[in-house]
Amino acid sequence: MLTFVAIIIACLLLICGAVVMRRMAQRFTAMLQRHDAQVVEDITLMTDLVNAATKQREDIDALLGELCGAIADYNIAAVEAQGQLTQLRIAERRQIRPYVLPSDHGPEMLWPLPPRLYISADELN
């Protein structure tokens, strides 16, 4: 009889343990589902941030390209201006007046050169 009571108590304990384990499993599953939803939301947010950063980088690269082009144009103009200034200083020292020849774009200054070296303003461009 004592063995029978022990078996019944053991079965009741197993049933109670199973119910408790089932509730714990349900809570754990719900917690994991909430965590998964948060992870998906975080990944979506990070993807959006990476896309925005990539777009900004492309915009910055384009602006830097334009800036480099403008600097190159400025440097070319500065070199050309320096060359013209040098020619004017040389002419001033020698007191030589430059020849002015018409072209499609307006008068161009050509400096006195030996006869075989004369070139037209269009050839300079």
Judge whether residue 56 has pLDDT over 90. Answer: yes
Residue 116: what pLDDT?
43
The b/e string for 53-79 (b: 16+ C-beta within 10 A; e otherwise) is eeeeeeeeeeeeeeeeeeeeeeeeeee
| pLDDT tens sequence across 66-123 | 999 999 999 898 888 888 888 877 777 666 555 555 555 555 555 554 444 445 555 5
Residue 57: what pLDDT?
92
Residue 123: what pLDDT?
55
Residue 14: what pLDDT?
86
Mean pLDDT of 17-34: 88
CA nearest neighbour of 106 among 87, 118, 124, 88: 124
Residue 54: what pLDDT?
92
pLDDT-derived band at 63 (thresholds 50, 70, 90) equals very high
Mean pLDDT of the chain: 79
pLDDT-derived band at 38 (thresholds 50, 70, 90) equals confident
DSSP secondary structure string, 56-125? HHHHHHHHHHHHHHHHHHHHHHHHHHHHHHHHHHHHHHHT-PPEEE--TTS-EEE----GGG---HHHH-
